[in-house]
Amino acid sequence: MRKVAFIFPGQGAQYVGMGKEIYDNYPVAKEVFDKADQILGRSISDVCFNGPDDLLKDTRNAQPAIVVTSIALFRILAEEGIKPDFTAGHSLGEYSALIASEAVSFGDGLRLVKTRSRLMAEADPDHQGMMAAILGMDRNTLSVLLQEASAVGLVEAANYNCPGQIVASGDKKGIAKLQELVVAKGGKVIPLAVSGAFHSSFMKKAADAFRPELEKVEWSAPNPPVVANVFAKPVSKEQLTDSLYRQICSSVLWEDTLHYLRGQGIDTFIELGPGKVLTGLVKKTLKDASFFNCEDLTSIKKALAILKEV
C-alpha cells in the first residue's frame, strides 16, 4: 500500500497556459478557476491561460495563479478518490497545502495569498534585494561564508532545497560578496529572476504587515497533516498564524521536509501544480522514493493509473 504526500510548488513555477487543459476538460477544475475569479474580483484564469508572460510573472499575479492551478489539480484527484497521507508546499505552495488539508477555506486562503503577494511586491520598491542559487556547497561551509559576506551586506540562506542546492537572499552587496567567496571555494552562483530578497530579513516589513491578516483567519487542524516550511514538522492549528508569519522572512527547510516525510513512511510524492521543480528536488534528495507531477491531462492520467493500481 502506497503512502502518499501531495506537494505543491511555489513562485517561479508559473507559465502561460497552465491550467487551460484541465479547465476545459474537468468541471471541478473549471469551478475552482471560476470561483477564484469571483473571490479576487478579476480574471486570474485569463492571466493563467493567456498571460502575457510579464503579467503572469508579476508576484501579485504569480502567487494566486499558482495556488488556483494547484487546487484545481488537487480537486481532480480528490474527485477520483485519491487522498494523501501528508501535504507540504514550497514557500507559497504551503498555502495550497493548507487549503488541500482543510486548515483554511479556499476563499480565505486565496485572499491571504492576494494580500501576501501585494505586500511582498511592495517590500522592496527600490529593487535592492535579490536571490541567487548556490550550487555545490554543503550547509556548514555555506554557513561560514554567509557570516563572512554579512559583514558587507545583508545575506541569508533562503531555501535549503536539496543536497548541493541552497538559495541565498539579501541585498546586492551581500550577494556579490557571497558569490566571490563561493566561487573561491569551487562552488557556483546563479542569480535568480525574482523581484526581491524573499525569505530573508528584507521581508520583515511585509511579514509585520501581514500578521494582522493571518490573525483574522479561522484556522482548523490540518487533515491530513501539513509539514511546515519553518520547522519541517507538522504544523498545529495553534501554530499556523506564527509559522506563516515567520515563513515570509525565514528559510524554507525543503530538504528537511522531504526527509521528515520519508521518515514517516511516505514512498510516493505527487507534485500538484505547474512544472516539475519539486519532483526534481525529490529525485536529488531521496534516492528510493517514487515521484511524479500532475499539471495537464497526460500527467493526470498517468498519475491516476499508477495510484489506482492494486
Q: Which residues are catalytic?
A: 91, 199
Q: Which residues, 6+ apart, have CB-to-CB distance to 88 below 8 Å?
A: 5, 6, 7, 8, 94, 97, 226, 227, 257, 261
Buried b vs exposed e over 278-297: b needs ≥16 C-beta within 10 Å? bbbbbeebbeebebbbbbbe
Angle of helix 106-122 relative to helix 204-215, nearest 10 degrees? 160
Instruction: Give the CB-side neighbour count of residue 192, counting CA atoms within 13 A.
Output: 25
